[in-house]
Each structure stands twice: as C-alpha cells, then as structure tokens.
C-alpha cells in the first residue's frame, strides 16, 4: 500500500538544471532547480510512530490479544478487547 504520495502541480514539463541537497540539524532539504530560475524545495524530517501496541497472553503459545492499545494503520485506537 502506498501512502503519502504527492504531486506538485506547476513543475510538469519544466527542465531540470540541477538538484541540490543539504542537512540542517535534523532536516534534509532537497532543491530541484529548473532552467527558468525557479526551484521546488522539499524538506524531510525523520520521525518514529507507534504502529501497534498489544497486550498478549502467551501462556498457551497461541498469543491471544488481550488488549489492542494502538492500531494506527487500520484506524482503530484503544479498542480495549
């Protein structure tokens, strides 16, 4: 599943002159410079997100979910089984 895809209207058909990158603290910057003296600037910051947090009963070896704290990708939060 692809998520977070983004198109940037207004840059289609432009001719790329050069691409420049640089880091500043925890941010990575991309600049796509075009021959018409414009550029597309994109900055990226890293982050960590909890995907799931579950409490399991492992006593039988079946790993039964006792409580579902976070299920971000499925849109459920704190279902509290």
Domain-wise residue ranges, the chain: 15-47, 49-81
Q: Indicate if the pLDDT at residue 77 is higher than 80.
A: no
Which pLDDT score, from 0 to 100, does residue 79 have? 43
What pLDDT band is residue 62 in, cutting at 50, 70 and 90? confident
Q: Indicate if the pLDDT at residue 70 is higher than 80.
A: no
Q: Which of 74, 27, 30 is nearest to 53 (CA)?
A: 74
Q: What is the mean pLDDT of residues 60-66?
A: 87
Q: What is the mean pLDDT of residues 20-40?
A: 95
pTM: 0.56
């Amino acid at each position: 599943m692809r998520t977070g895809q983004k198109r940037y209207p207004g840059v289609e058909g432009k001719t790329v002159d050069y691409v420049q990158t640089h880091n500043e603290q925890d941010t990575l910057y991309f600049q796509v410079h075009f021959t018409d003296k414009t550029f597309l600037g994109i900055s990226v910051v890293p982050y960590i997100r909890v995907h799931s947090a579950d409490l399991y009963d492992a006593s039988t070896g079946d790993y039964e979910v006792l409580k579902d704290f976070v299920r971000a990708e499925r849109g459920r939060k704190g279902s509290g089984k």
